[in-house]
Structure 1
Amino acid sequence: MAKALRNVSDSEIKLLSIFHKVVARGGLSAAELDLNIGRSTISRHLKDLEVRLGVTLCHRGNSGFSLTPEGMEIYEASIELFDALNRFKGRANDIQENIKGVLRVGFCDKVVGNPNSHVPKAIRNFSTEYPNIHIDIHTQQLNTVENRVLSGDYHLGIVPIHRHTSSLQYNPLFVEDMSLYCGLGHHLFGKEEGIDEELMNNVKLAAMDMNSPNQQVFNRLNLKRSATAYDQEGIALLIQSGEYVGFLPDHYARHFVNDGVFKCIDSKTYSYQCQFAVINCKSNKPTRMAQELLRHLTASHTAREKLYAL
């Protein structure tokens, strides 16, 4: 019979961290890159943790990865543990005269290049004021950024607003202009008139795999998804094939349009604006680092809005 776990040392915390990452990624293979260790080593660490805890945490093998009931309880407890550790580190860093530490921020792709976005300016001002803070940028899908802000993995996220989640605080920053595009060789390429609802009902639409603002738009317009991509680069590739239409940020599509390989379809009907915001978790007070970057983000975009209003 296994002995009760009397103390939680650094070694147990390290093993729990590996277990937490494996569960969060859905298996050993998916966690390999994040952990930078092989599957056999990960499996050995999980076995070591099971021996120390005296329970079987998960089933792993050819049949796939799944948690046992005990493993689920340990995983939920580990979330509470790492949340507490992150809050402690944040508060410890906050009380120091010179703020330092790692600030993790999640982004959705293709924010760079948007003329309405002044995130680079905010980061420059923030880094100048706080040179001892290491900024850790993660570019992910919208749902992933939201979930990791909620879990505490990211201090802040910059995302398009597609629905309001009660657990998140939203601070609007800038808008992104989106339009529907087709590629060279598509039967709508260069067609200026006669694009009606019946014609659009027969096009092949390439769309993102997640619930997003453009999904809400194409549902409202009764467009049917025929291909799926996981980022804007994938949408652009499908459009470039000449078989699909898809929504892209205008600033990103501009160079394709200038090269004569993309055309915007009926910009009035099939265009919309997407509001981007910086988000943080309501249940966890932002660390001083996060508060300061939030201040710079808000100031950079507010100043630009005032300039345009003059």
Structure 2
Amino acid sequence: MSYGPSEIKLIRVYASVVQNQGFAAAQEKLNLSVSAISTYMSQLETLVGVTLCHRGRGGFRLTEKGRLYYAEVQALLDRLDSFESYTSALRDDLGGSLNVGLIDSIVSDPALPLAAVIREFISLHPRVRLSMHVANPYELQVAVTERRMDLAIGTFPTSMNGLVFQELYNEQHWLYCGDQHALYGVEQPSIYEIERQPLVGRGFWHKAEHAHHESSSEVGSAENMEARLLLILSGCFIGYLPEHLAGLWQHRSHLRALAPESFSYQAKFALCIRRDRQRDRHVMAFRDFLSAQFKGNTTTGRG
């Protein structure tokens, strides 16, 4: 059986469907309709001669042969990407792909001029297919570990083995309430009053957030900063937000920082890569552009 560009395309569709756990979830990544994805999957199963996955009302799940095939697909795509990078290196021109993971709500942060980094990277390496994905810190580390992402930028309260973290900068967080909250009009609320307010948290807590609110009996939850901001603006909760995200709302008098001398912390932002990929040309190129913005910072790692 020979594999040309059309067969490789089918394989890449399959890999994306597995990584996104279903046809519908892979639509945005592939920029294809569900019906088109279904057609490609049927063509691949005909080519391979086995059923790779079950889909329907029971949801998406791989067959046993589908799991075995996916393991080989991952190895094949890694080799193809490495080969493309190698041939690009022969002509001193980066090609292939670079998948970058990001934590949410960093576009408004002036301390991280990511748009400028992307512009410089693409202008020098126009043949690289650059993809960006937003996820929480745990998901980012898993994706980098599993090679689904080449690198990630975010704050990582805990670190996984086998990864290297290059410190970038500190993001300032304050504790806020919305203009509909009972404490908004209180000139100097006491620490006791603040600590007794329902707090909106995240799936991953910073230790400073825990320290001040262990006694709270009611806690809301939000998995991204925009959702956290919305809950705070409702007036039902208080919560920590990055200064850059809260700034516009504070300027419009919709948010107020509560006892900033007592309730604040800095989230350490870092670049995360696999230890064994530090010499990868794509990773090195992007890291160099990013590092130029944060000279003098250090690299830490585990495992």
- Corresponding residue number in structure 2 for 1:206: 200
- Corresponding residue number in structure 1 for 2:191: 195
CA 1:103–1:34 in 2, change beyond 3 Å: closer, same or farther? Answer: closer
Q: Distance in 2 between matches of 1:157 and 1:166?
A: 15
SS of residue in 2 equivalent to 1:87: helix
Q: Distance in 2 between matches of 1:165 and 1:8?
A: 37
Equivalent residue letter for 2:81: N
Residues 280 and 286 in structure 1, CA contact (< 8 A), matched pair in contact too: no
Moved over 6 A (4+): none
1:292 is matched with which residue: 239, 263, 285? 285
TM-score (norm 1): 0.83
- Corresponding residue number in structure 2 for 1:58: 53
- Corresponding residue number in structure 2 for 1:17: 12
- Corresponding residue number in structure 2 for 1:91: 86
- Equivalent residue runs for 1:142-161 within 5 Å: 142=136, 143-161=138-156
CA 1:294–1:50 in 2, change beyond 3 Å: closer, same or farther? Answer: same
Q: CA RMSD in A?
A: 2.7
2:42 is matched with which residue: 39, 47, 56? 47
CA 1:121–1:44 in 2, change beyond 3 Å: closer, same or farther? Answer: closer
Structure 1 unaligned residues grouped into runs of 5+: 1-5, 306-310
2:171 aligned with 1:176, yes or no? yes
CA 1:293–1:188 in 2, change beyond 3 Å: closer, same or farther? Answer: same
Q: Identity rate of aligned residues, in percent?
A: 28
Q: Distance in 2 between matches of 1:89 and 1:225?
A: 53
How many residue pairs match? The answer is 294
CA 1:60–1:122 in 2, change beyond 3 Å: closer, same or farther? Answer: closer
Deviation at 1:199, TM superposition (A): 5.4
Deviation at 1:135, TM superposition (A): 6.8
2:134 aligned with 1:140, yes or no? yes
Equivalent residue letter for 2:191: I
Q: Distance in 2 between matches of 1:235 and 1:140?
A: 16
- Corresponding residue number in structure 2 for 1:280: 273
Deviation at 1:112, TM superposition (A): 3.5
Residues 198 and 218 in structure 2, CA contact (< 8 A), matched pair in contact too: yes
Q: Distance in 2 between matches of 1:117 and 1:41?
A: 38
- Corresponding residue number in structure 1 for 2:75: 80
CA 1:190–1:304 in 2, change beyond 3 Å: closer, same or farther? Answer: farther
Deviation at 1:21, TM superposition (A): 1.0
- Corresponding residue number in structure 2 for 1:219: 210
TM-score (norm 2): 0.84
- Corresponding residue number in structure 1 for 2:301: none
- Corresponding residue number in structure 2 for 1:271: 264
**How far does the alpha carbon of each residue in 1:77-96 deviate from its partner, in whole angstroms, 9 at most, with x for none?**
21111122222222222232
**How far does the alpha carbon of each residue in 1:153-179 deviate from its partner, in whole angstroms, 9 at most, with x for none?**
433221112112122211111110112
